[in-house]
Structure 1
């Protein structure tokens, strides 16, 4: 009997365990103070520092700087972003540079029709191109083969610049350092700030989850704007501090393939920080007491295996083998099994005529029109693992389900 109990105990322990691996200059890191981090399509890790760029393939470290590649805008890299085509973009105080795997090319305000301002705050990829946030607004490049930049400036956007850009279907969202967020739709710019319910004017990052909720990282925590943009939900204690301090300034936001929201947090006046994730029910956090390499969180990135890469001022940490709580994704008596391999049953007490399935990028990956009532089966085994949002609708109502395919 004790032997059986021991086996069960070990299984539960493994379910909730994780591994943290740290990298510093002693392991080949270019510099311990890492400003930014990203993961490319081959799961190579790219970092930006004040003395250049480095790529880590899991074994070897490769350095790129103005000495080895004079085409790079500057060695002082504050932003780095890998794109879906494999290109890697960096942002500096002297413009942006892009690496296609062979050559580096730089764009700055000196170029004809170049970027708006050389001081770059963000680089984001949206469906229609590359968007570069600067201290003066945002510049976007639709066709890299024809490098002519267009820009959006005040008064359409706040004068303090753009910290992040996110695309939502046919609309675009901009995060401002001092002006909240701006939503662009049908040629109209709409501002959401503290007067609308936002926690803080200082917006550091934003993302949109599969259900259409906007997660807005601010200097005072996270504000979540609902899918129809009418109501905010606030998260102010993602990372627990010793009383009486509670302030949670957000450095970065990411979403993994399970739909968990990850937040990097750093409280400068306390020199304390960590990372936290929202599992749909509660926040869980990690810091130096759990094994992170440092407190000054600078940036986050997530690879294809849902490992979390954390850039700090004292090195890099990778959190792997992060368990999920099956109950977080289970809707009892509605959708089962959940998690699933994609072969599922749905029970409902209403009749629906339309079914749609969305991935964690809010893209529709499956839709059908039929009569859906009581209990029916749905085969989604063709979908890769991750969190999906199933929407059933009829003329008067809709029902939403979250499904985890593993």
Structure 2
């Protein structure tokens, strides 16, 4: 058993928003274990058994609710400069995508030294580049792979053809790198966050190709606070949230040119640099910034910082697990928020 120290702090506004009373919030401190030295948590995904998988500076770690495990037994897994991870259910089983400079690696769960790792690169697949920046799971075994030269997609064992390269040429992605990917609610469309040209959009067409749609950028009636986009979240109701270095944009409905709203520090955000976004089971939107979290319930905003319970204000990733627990990766460990209790792992 790990020793726990409990710090009680008054959070009148916070508790009123999250669980409807003026109770006190607990902050529980725990460690990862004696053998694990983990600090920076860059990316997170949750599998169908509710196991949390994190990308850290030490590699991939998993947490089943009881034990943290560094997944370092399989020597075929990429180890250096890994950018992203994503759980995906394929026709051949439960797997994890790993984005790396050597390609997109796909490994079966549970990860052990005997499991084969299929690493797709330009030498053995139609990938536009082996330098993979981000990955996202669509529907029906469709996976999206963002590289330094563009977006690729594989469905089962079939790679989709490229029908968007005239609209979005490879040079565009080299000059304006991909930072994040998110799929539409049906999984067949992809939102591509970039540095410098806003959000690009592609979709799976009727002939198993990837076609381009209009982009979201700072032009005309589209209200993007910045063309430097670092996070995307598509809510279950289809609402699109885009986090930038100058605030967050919200788009609702299917009219590209209408229904845009911008939020920044002037009207709710604690900090304008939005690095992560997630929607909880109550529909509240969690925005992870460089200086804490802002939670939006549709009308009211609540700020969460280290004072309220975070292990660090520099939030790098956020997810919601199968039980509705919020998991927050930072540059100084992990915070989880469950039923009014903060638990910090570091």
TM-score, normalisation: structure 1: 0.66
Q: Are 1:83 and 2:84 counterparts? A: no
> Matches of residues 62-73 of structure 1 in structure 2 within 5 Å?
62-65=69-72, 68-73=73-78
Alignment match of 2:57 (pick from 46, 50, 61): 50
Q: Deviations over 1:230-283 (max 9, x none)?
A: 13101113443xxxxxx51111111122222111111xxxxxx21222111122
Query: For the Cα contact (< 8 Å) 1:175–1:204, is it kept in 2?
Result: yes
- 1:156 and 2:167 aligned: yes
Are positions 1:302 and 2:302 aligned together? no
Aligned partners of 1:212 and 1:182: how far apart in 2?
17
Selected match of 2:107 from 99, 115, 120? 99
Give yes or no for the alignment of 1:37 onto 2:44.
Answer: yes
CA-to-partner distance for each residue in 1:144-203, whole Å, 9 max, x for gaps? xx2646557655334324321322546443222221112346755212211132111011
| Structure index of larger Rg | 1
**C-alpha displacement of 1:288:** 0.7
CA distance in 1, matches of 2:30, 2:96: 21
Structure 2 runs not aligned, ≥5 long: 1-14, 206-210, 342-346
1:1-400 to structure 2, matched below 5 A, reads 15-16=20-21, 18-25=25-32, 29-65=36-72, 68-84=73-89, 86-102=94-110, 103-128=115-140, 129-143=142-156, 146=157, 148=159, 150=161, 154-157=165-168, 158-159=172-173, 160-162=176-178, 163-169=180-186, 171-184=189-202, 187-195=211-219, 196-227=222-253, 228-229=255-256, 230-237=258-265, 238-240=268-270, 247-266=271-290, 273-322=291-340
110-119 vs 256-265, greater mean Cα deviation: 110-119
Measure the CA separation in 1 of the matches of 2:163 and 2:62: 32
For each residue in 1:32-61, what CA deviation from the matched residue of structure 2 results, as whole angstroms up to 9, or x when unmatched? 122222221111121112322111112222
In the TM superposition, residue 99 of structure 1 has moved relative to its aligned partner by 2.5
* Deviation at residue 289 of structure 1 after TM alignment: 0.6
> What CA distance in whole angstroms lies between the structure 1 residues aligned with 2:31 and 2:147?
30
> Judging changes above 3 Å, is the alpha-carbon distance between structure 1 residues 115 and 101 closer, same or farther for their aligned structure 2 residues?
same
- CA 1:28–1:136 in 2, change beyond 3 Å: closer, same or farther? same
SS of the aligned residue for 1:194 comes to coil
Q: Distance in 1 between matches of 2:117 and 2:60?
A: 15
In structure 2, distance between residues paired with 1:14 and 1:172? 35
Instruction: Report 1 or 2 for greater relative contact order, CA contacts < 8 Å, sequence distance ≥ 6.
Output: 2
| In 1, Cα distance between equivalents of 2:165 and 2:29 | 42
Structure 1 residues 20 and 46: alpha-carbon distance in aligned structure 2, compared to 1, 3 A threshold = farther
Range 21-30 or range 51-60, more displaced: 21-30
Q: CA deviation at 1:64?
A: 1.6
Residues 110 and 191 of structure 1, relative CA distance in 2, 3 Å threshold: closer
Q: Distance in 2 between matches of 1:292 and 1:28?
A: 23
Provide the rounded CA distance (Å) in 1 between the counterparts of 2:239 and 2:19.
Answer: 32
Q: 1:314: Cα distance to partner?
A: 1.1
Task: Using structure 2 for the length normalisation, give the TM-score.
Answer: 0.76
